[in-house]
Amino acid sequence: MVWEMRAFLYCRVAHQDTFALEHQRFLLDLYAKRAGYTIIGAADENGSGLRLDRPALQKVTEAVAAGKVDVVLVHNLTRIGREWGMAQSYIDLLNRHKVKLLCIRDRLLFDENGATPILTIKKAECPL
């Protein structure tokens, strides 16, 4: 039996910038498709990265808690949070649910083993 990775895409910009959101979504969608992931959801938002209680991030969290997600894809780690402690607390939440965080621009995969540099995931070059 082949295990398909279920991916949730999350995009965030601090200020109203439709082009930047669309560009992030395009890159994440391209990466997920090239990797053979099944995209089960996506959430975009404008807002500060100084707090975790953001509506679109809550949508991701709900899907994670419901067991629908194997990997959350973001453009880079700062899309989760601008402060390392905040980002780490979200990574910990994902780890408790056995969900990975893949930052395609940073080329980092966060899972229960910590951060791992990536070059490719299942033949999917980071589209940068």
Whether residue 1 lies inside any domain: the answer is no
* pLDDT confidence band for 120 (50 / 70 / 90): low
> How many domains is the chain built from?
1
Residue 94 lies in a domain: yes
- pLDDT tens-place string over residues 93-111: 999 999 999 999 988 889 8
Taking 80 as the threshold, does the pLDDT of residue 124 lie above it? no
Question: Looking at residue 48, which CATH number applies to its domain?
Answer: 3.40.50.1390
Residue 84 pLDDT level (bands cut at 50, 70, 90): confident
Q: What digits encode the pLDDT tens for the residues 42-83?
A: 999 998 888 888 999 999 999 999 999 999 999 999 999 888
Q: Which of 121, 128, 11 is nearest to 70 (CA)?
A: 121
For the segment 80-88, the average pLDDT, to the nearest whole number, is 89
Look up residue 34 and give its amino acid.
R
User: Which runs of consecutive H residues, i.e. helices, occur in 3-127?
Assistant: 18-35, 55-65, 84-96
More confident residue, 25 or 16: 25
CA gap 123, 128 in Å, rounded: 15
Contact in structure between 89 and 95 (CB atoms under 8 Å): no
Q: Identity (one letter) of the amino acid at 39?
A: I
Domain residues for 28?
Answer: 6-125
